[in-house]
A and B are shown apart, each in its own frame.
Chain A
């Protein structure tokens, strides 16, 4: 098999749309990926450094309540704190709406998919409900700019992000022989170091040992954070001396952030990392058991291009095995809903401008019933990939309910199911779905059955 526009948009993109043409070739896809990020400009999400309410303002508001000199000042401070909380809640819903709007609007669908893939690879969860709205800004700052660039750059951006430091306890970790450890009586926390090796770079089967985890954990000490000033490197918390990670010595002089960043370069360019990332991408985009030759090609291209992720994607798209049917993966709930909106031609400005209530009822709550609580997977390993994890009775109940009910709420006049089957599945839909589109008693049933069909869920 070779390139096919319908498969390109469904498997590697965000689903077909009646008014946005699918890519015409692999070259088209790669050119779009190499070009500017149009959707980020059209539907902005604040970068972490600029997002409000920030950790700093939330902390300042809490302190103002604590330190209020009298009842009147306290009431004022509490009103301000509550206003910030409300702003955070609204921003959380707005982030979700914006992410859907980008997905609905784009002609560079693979960029959206890659952003979600790498955000999941570097999963963080908000440490409290008050900062849930900062997960999207983390992705916007640390992940999205690098999805077509060098993996090492993404890795470096992630490990200095307060969202990751807090999520994997790195801010608490002190070098056992550091000045801070002596004063505070605390010590090393291996959480981030372990996940960096096990999940983010070499992978659980990679060639690293418990000693590497420990040495990396010692090397990472000094990555610190404060609510007021954000990320800080703290030499007083850093373990003195050199650390040996995967046979390479880092540091040894005065503790320095550069030593840690150098180590990220080393991890990013390790052959086991190349293989782990290549296979994970191939599993996500192609099939649960991707062709080993395809994976090898992707890894080799990545290493030859000095750790460039676009080269890895190119290796995948140019390989014939990437285009082999049948579709065996399924859309995650977010992608399912967003692709439904695309097929229904819901205008992106309607999505982006939706009210808090609408976003909850059309996207957030249905996703939860389908099994994906937005930006809150259970662990640092992110969402599962296997179709069987998602297509369970209650997951399917959520999907069928959405298919049957949401379209009526979203568009004024439902399309004729006989047309809609082509909007959703292309010029050659499977015959049983085309039959159902003709046989439905009502437009609502017809559109719903097409959206609930296995063919629309698979990719």
Chain B
């Protein structure tokens, strides 16, 4: 296909407190059907979406964190995390439930410049 575009989903919100994280994930899954070049960026509180060990029984909300592990099966393999955002939240790569590439702020900005479409959540 000649008209493949580079799509980046930028995730900046923590899960559950607002609907953004779940909405983003659903749009990502739908976008996967269109064979585009999709990447996911997790920055600011968005890095919390990937935290291991989420247990949502007590808030009677669907725990959608296991779905991030399904992305590989959808051929979505470009997952990026901003290093400073992790550090500001006391998190390391080991705290995350999927394999990601950790980038500096400068690398994040450069990667954003390469995209055809950016969707922010």
**A and B: interacting chains:** no
